[in-house]
């Protein structure tokens, strides 16, 4: 086809450029692709194993074209550049491999529109509780709890620590070991579909909040409930009460340590006796970046390894992740301390005295095995 001579010939083929970037991100296993407009350039970043890495700097002039192309792919309003927009990029062809969903979010900034594509992968290898990398103790405790008819399992850790994956694996475990159980999951948002589980999407701002949905659902006779996150005192109260009245509940909280999670419940106004009689255990977990096997280098004086960087790992020195976790079951001594409204320090001391292996210690075990680095452990 002949180009109209009056039309300026584009220096970049934006359609294939966007396609290439997304394909490259998927090949690298990135979870997010950022298109950040600056004063005179557009920075492309990939989130690899939880960490953002600058990948490419493109001329600012084509930044708007890239975002326009993304908006077309995501079915968004191309003529609106002044409002945040969210959409979904349809998957076409087999080039997208293991990706099951691509969500697009556009946000106007002073330098133009910023776009982020979140990539969701089919994680077949993560389907089983047994394959997540938990210690024998943590695994068997979870399996025991999953077989119960009541109580609360609390998962703690920041966003991106793999809590959702663990919860999904736990639900799948219950589905296979106790088929026929009535299982309901409340999530914001629903991240992956699990056949056999009634999944409900709640939202913080809409009518279907965690507390309202949870209160109604309890009248639907569920046996197992997964609550995406305890964010407020009201949700905490309903979760604890449901755990005391013949329901098995699993939920997560933003907290750095198991003791911190328990203290936070007290701070939310939950009575100590309610905590001690409903909470069965607290599982705290993190994901550390795994050293790239292709380029890691042994440090001679202590035998541990350091990251180097190669083509296989986008020069980050890391590829994939490893899990560290600590499982705390509420035993007599801990229960008594909570009933006595002990502070964080007291709870930590009790754990230390009973030989509990904390996060830093399990992290260092992985460092000695050459799987990760001290700096990764220090990050968590």
Q: Which is nearer to Zn ion, 152 or 292 (CB)?
A: 292
Q: Is residue 320 near Zn ion by the rule CB under 5 A?
A: no
Residue 310 makes contact with Zn ion by CB under 5 A: yes
Work out whether 292 is an interface residue with Zn ion (CB under 5 A).
Answer: yes
Residue nearest to Zn ion (CB): 292
Q: What is the three-class DSSP state of 329?
A: strand
Distance from C-alpha of 265 to C-alpha of 279, rounded to nearest angstrom: 11
Q: Does 91 bind Zn ion (CB under 5 A)?
A: no
CB of 175 to Zn ion, least distance (A): 37
Return the exposure string of 60-81: e unless at least 16 CB atoms fall within 10 Å of the residue's CB, then b. Answer: bebbebbbbbbbebbebeeeee
Minimum distance between the CB of residue 336 and Zn ion, rounded to whole angstroms? 50
| Cα 352 to Cα 334: distance, rounded to the nearest angstrom | 12
Minimum gap (Å) between residue 297 Cβ and Zn ion: 10
Cα–Cα distance, 135 to 142 (Å, whole number): 11
**Distance from C-alpha of 54 to C-alpha of 35, rounded to nearest angstrom:** 10
Region from 171-179, 231-239, 313-321, 371-379 binding Zn ion, contact rule CB under 5 A: 313-321
Count the residues of the shown chain that bind Zn ion, applying the rule CB under 5 A: 6
The residue among 186 and 295 lying less far from Zn ion, judged by its C-beta, is 295
How, if at all, do strands 198-201 and 112-121 pair? unpaired
Candidate ranges 20-28, 129-137, 214-222, 290-298; the one touching Zn ion (CB under 5 A): 290-298
Q: How far, in Å, CA of 176 to CA of 167, rounded?
A: 14
Instruction: CB nearer to Zn ion: give 28 or 142.
Output: 28
Query: Residues 71, 57: contact at Cβ < 8 Å?
Result: no
| 298 and 249 Cβ atoms separated by less than 8 Å | no
**Which of 294, 341, 352, 368 is in the footprint of Zn ion by CB under 5 A?**
294
Q: Closest distance between Zn ion and the C-beta of residue 307, in Å?
A: 8
Closer CB to Zn ion, 139 or 310, in the complex: 310
Helix (H, G, I), strand (E, B) or coil at 41: strand
Told to check if 354 binds Zn ion by CB under 5 A, we report no
Q: With binding defined as CB under 5 A, does residue 312 bind Zn ion?
A: yes
Q: If 0-12 CB within 10 Å is exposed, 13-18 middle and 19+ buried, where does residue 5 land?
A: exposed
Cβ proximity to Zn ion, 89 vs 292, nearer residue = 292
Q: How far is the CB of 62 from Zn ion (least distance, A)?
A: 30
Stretch that binds Zn ion, among 74-82, 177-185, 242-250, 307-315 (CB under 5 A): 307-315
DSSP-assigned states of every residue in 67-128: HHHHHHHTT--TT--SS-EEEEPPP-SGGGTTEEEEEEEEEEETTEEEEEEEEEE--GGGSS
Among 217, 295, 322, 377, binds Zn ion (CB under 5 A): 295
- Check binding of 48 to Zn ion (CB under 5 A): no
Scanning 162-170, 230-238, 291-299, 334-342 for contacts with Zn ion by CB under 5 A, the matching segment is 291-299
Between residues 24 and 274, which has the closer beta carbon with respect to Zn ion?
Answer: 24
Alpha carbon dihedral 378, 369, 288, 355, in 10-degree steps, equals -70
Coil, helix or strand at residue 168: helix
When asked if residue 313 is in the footprint of Zn ion (CB under 5 A), the reply is yes
Cβ closer to Zn ion: 201 or 304?
A: 304
| DSSP three-state, residue 367 | helix
Question: Which C-beta is closer to Zn ion: that of 255 or that of 316?
Answer: 316
Stretch that binds Zn ion, among 192-200, 309-317, 335-343, 364-372 (CB under 5 A): 309-317
Question: According to the binding rule CB under 5 A, does residue 227 interact with Zn ion?
Answer: no
Are 250 and 170 contacting, i.e. CB atoms less than 8 angstroms apart?
A: yes
Positions touching Zn ion (CB under 5 A) are 292, 294-295, 310, 312-313
């Amino acid at each position: 086809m002949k180009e109209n001579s009056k039309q300026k010939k584009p220096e970049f083929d934006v359609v294939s450029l966007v396609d290439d970037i997304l394909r490259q991100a998927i090949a690298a296993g990135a979870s997010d692709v950022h298109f950040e407009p600056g004063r005179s350039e557009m920075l492309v970043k990939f989130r690899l194993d939880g960490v953002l890495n600058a990948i490419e700097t493109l001329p600012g002039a084509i930044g708007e074209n890239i975002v326009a192309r993304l908006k077309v792919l995501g079915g968004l309003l191309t003529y609106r550049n002044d409002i945040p927009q969210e959409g979904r990029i349809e998957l076409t062809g087999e080039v997208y491999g293991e990706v099951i969903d691509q969500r697009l979010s556009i946000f106007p900034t002073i330098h133009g529109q910023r776009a982020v594509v979140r990539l969701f992968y089919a994680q077949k290898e993560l389907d089983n509780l047994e394959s997540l990398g938990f210690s024998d103790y943590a695994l068997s405790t979870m399996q025991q709890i999953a077989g119960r008819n009541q109580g609360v399992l609390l998962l703690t850790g920041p966003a991106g620590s793999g809590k959702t994956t663990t919860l999904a694996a736990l639900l799948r475990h219950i589905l296979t070991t106790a088929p026929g159980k009535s299982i309901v999951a409340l999530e914001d948002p629903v991240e992956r579909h699990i056949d056999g589980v009634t999944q409900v999407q709640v939202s913080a701002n809409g009518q279907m909040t965690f507390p309202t949905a949870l209160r109604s659902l309890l009248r639907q006779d569920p046996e197992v409930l997964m609550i995406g996150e305890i964010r407020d005192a009201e949700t905490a109260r309903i979760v604890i009460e449901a755990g005391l009245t013949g329901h098995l509940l699993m939920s997560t909280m933003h907290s750095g340590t198991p003791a911190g999670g328990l203290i936070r419940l007290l701070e939310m106004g939950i009575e100590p006796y309610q905590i001690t009689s409903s909470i069965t255990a607290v599982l705290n977990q993190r994901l550390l970046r795994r050293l790239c096997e292709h380029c890691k280098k042994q440090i001679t004086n202590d035998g541990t390894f350091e990251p180097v960087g190669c083509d296989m790992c986008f020069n980050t020195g890391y590829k994939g992740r490893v899990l560290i976790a600590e499982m705390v079951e509420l035993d007599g001594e801990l229960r008594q301390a909570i009933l006595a409204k002990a502070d964080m320090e007291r709870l930590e001391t009790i754990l230390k005295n009973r030989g509990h292996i904390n996060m830093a210690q399990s992290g260092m075990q992985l460092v000695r095995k050459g799987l990760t680095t001290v700096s990764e452990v220090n990050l968590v």
